Amino acid sequence: MNPSHGNLLSVQTIKQRVKELACHLGREDFFIRTEPSGYGSPYIEVLDAYHFVIEERGFELERRITNDLDELLYWIMRGLTTAMAWDYEMQNRREGEDSRRQAFAKDVELLGRLSSHWANLQRQKYTKILGARHFYG
């Protein structure tokens, strides 16, 4: 386990924050890994900064680095809210509608339960994907 560096929080403290946020969404079972699973699940490291890593079968696919705890938590929670949003869309599919509209709106709603800032960031991304006239979430 990596110790805290400077003003960075420890991995254990981050894991606790993630658990608290997940509980706000009714997902007490959600957690963030601190070591690679080998199956592409993200994990975090606290080194010189916060590292959000996706590794599969020993190959690093992605590494995001930040000193901003809020940004790290956003990256982590986006994984959960996106999965929840697509599950919701599958259970509530609207015939003839672009499925992304409902899933994206639900994702923004879920993120909004955690942080209005995160919801706004995601809304901006989805607006670029769908175009402003197509996104009402």
pLDDT tops 60 at residue 134: no
Task: Give the amino acid at 119.
Answer: A
Q: Tell me, what's the pLDDT at 5?
A: 60
pLDDT tops 90 at residue 1: no
Q: Tell me, what's the pLDDT at 38?
A: 86
Query: What is the average pLDDT value for the chain, to the nearest integer?
Result: 92
Q: Which three-class secondary structure state does DSSP give residue 124? A: helix
Q: Which residues of 90-109 are buried (b: 16+ CB within 10 A; e: fewer)?
A: eeeeeeeeeebbbbbbbbbe
DSSP string, 10-77: PHHHHHHHHHHHHHHTT-TT---BSS--SEEEEEEEESSSEEEEEEETTEEEEEEEES-HHHHHHHHH
Query: What is the mean pLDDT of the segment spanning 58-81?
Result: 97
Q: Tell me, what's the pLDDT at 137?
A: 45
Instruction: Render pLDDT for 79-109 as a digit per residue (tens, 0 to 9).
Output: 999 999 999 999 999 898 888 999 999 999 9
Instruction: Pick 69 or 133 by higher pLDDT.
Output: 69
